[in-house]
Amino acid sequence: MNIKSIAALLVVSTLVLGGVLYRSDDPVPEQSDEAIKSYRLSNGMKVLVIENNRAPVMVSQVWYKVGASYEHDGITGISHVLEHMMFKGTEEHPAGEFSEIIAANGGEENAFTGQDFTAYFQKIANDRLELCLELEADRMRNITFDEKEFIKELEVVKEERRLRTEDKPTALTYERFNAVAYTNSPYRRPIVGWMEDLDTLTVDDARKWYETWYAPNNATLVVAGDVDAEEVFRLAKQYFGKLPTSEIPELKPRREAKQYGTQRLTVELPAKIPYLLMGYKVPNLTPEIVGTEHEQELYALEVLAGILDGGNSARLSKNLVRGQEIANSAGASYGMTARHETLFVLSAVPNDEVAIEVLEFALRDELNTIKTQLPDDVELDRVKAQVVAAQVYKQDSTFYQAMEVGMLDTIGLPWKIKDDYVEKILAVTAEQVQQVANKYLTDDRLTVAVLEPLPNGTEDDGMAAASLAGEKNAE
């Protein structure tokens, strides 16, 4: 998450049940706050409800604790392929019927796969809640794996990879950048998968992945909107409570291997514009860090990203794009909410006749300025005002209210951080911003990737290239 994208999405979470006894046939009340009510069914499925009575609509989301970071070499992309297969039907509702039913009832539905999760959602009138839960419960454990349908969807995913990555030089550069920046982190693998792995995936691979991870004890149901929590819990118990569980594999902790010096790569592709990426390894927010003195460092990194790239008044735009006029576009991004160590990324597209080395030097110079000179109060106030405004605006979206709860719950963080976020950002000082810049934005944490254009290029959208680094988190 970075400051400039907070208005679109502030991810948050919920609390994990521990040491509570309950009857095997009843939902279990968990710790709740005024806005979020939580239950856990006897089969382990968590149910979170956000009551918002502003309009007679609701959002239903089912989150699974599985995504690209759970995969291993040889089956990359399987989570995303399975997302496609979830729309190919059950015995009760054949292929295509799920979407047809939702559309016939005036709703919208879709799904997305990330590094750390896969989620399915419907946006619909609040009197269609039961319909959504019945359909989702059916496909949680009853998908039919027809080999012809699998082959067809696999080809769809391959074409998606071609269009989104292989035919876009900046996207392909970003993919290779991640593969080099991370040594042993699962984030080095693309969400859509390597084409070489997609070529060898089988329907049995998808079936095994489904049977392992798609179970109530590995899922969270989030319902937000004009609903009654007790009714949601009753319907969740009715449709999900009887589903069998799965033995969820215990994941070993992953810690990124130590880096020894700056890593560099050059990607040569047909393109019209060069593209520069600079990524520094930085910590992410974990349950162990929450509440410790190190937690505030992450909020300082968020503010640092906002100082560099938080609108036209931010330093990269003001100094490199409009001031020196050496960059067509430039950006910075950081997301602290992830299961594994992540990157603080700078990205830029040079103006015509500007060498990529000049642009890299200018970006480094901007970082060195922060390392040696404290940001002023005006900059800090601008970034903090953006955060406060975003907190107000997000209340208008029922969908993102559900997302902010579902996402962090899925990666194991307490939902209280959504309430603490503004307070912790407002508490960041100029000294803390300078300290994290000096501590984490160092050469021994840096990976630099350069797209070097070859003739016959087709991509010339510099703004799209510079913003790519902040958008590659889900498919």
What pLDDT was estimated at residue 370? 97
Delineate the domains of the chain, giving CATH numbers in brackets: 8-240 (3.30.830.10), 263-470 (3.30.830.10)
| Lowest-pLDDT range of 30-39, 150-159, 410-419 | 30-39
Contact status, residue 107 vs residue 183, Cβ threshold 8 Å: no
Q: Give pLDDT tens digits for 261-320.
A: 999 999 999 999 999 999 999 999 999 999 888 999 999 999 999 999 988 889 999 999
Cβ burial, residue 300 (10 Å; 0-12/13-18/19+)? buried
- Annotated catalytic sites, by residue? 83
157 three-class SS: helix
What pLDDT was estimated at residue 376? 93
Q: Which helix (H) or strand (E) holds 349?
A: strand 342-350
Total-model pTM: 0.89
Looking at the chain, the whole-number percentage of residues with pLDDT higher than 90 is: 80
Our CA dihedral for 442, 443, 449, 453, rounded to 10 degrees, sits at: 110
| Lowest-pLDDT range of 157-171, 201-215, 342-356, 375-389 | 375-389
Task: State the chain's mean pLDDT as an integer.
Answer: 89
Residue type present at position 200:
T
Q: Given pLDDT bands bounded at 50, 70 and 90, which one contains residue 457?
A: low
For residue 51, the cross-strand partners are 225
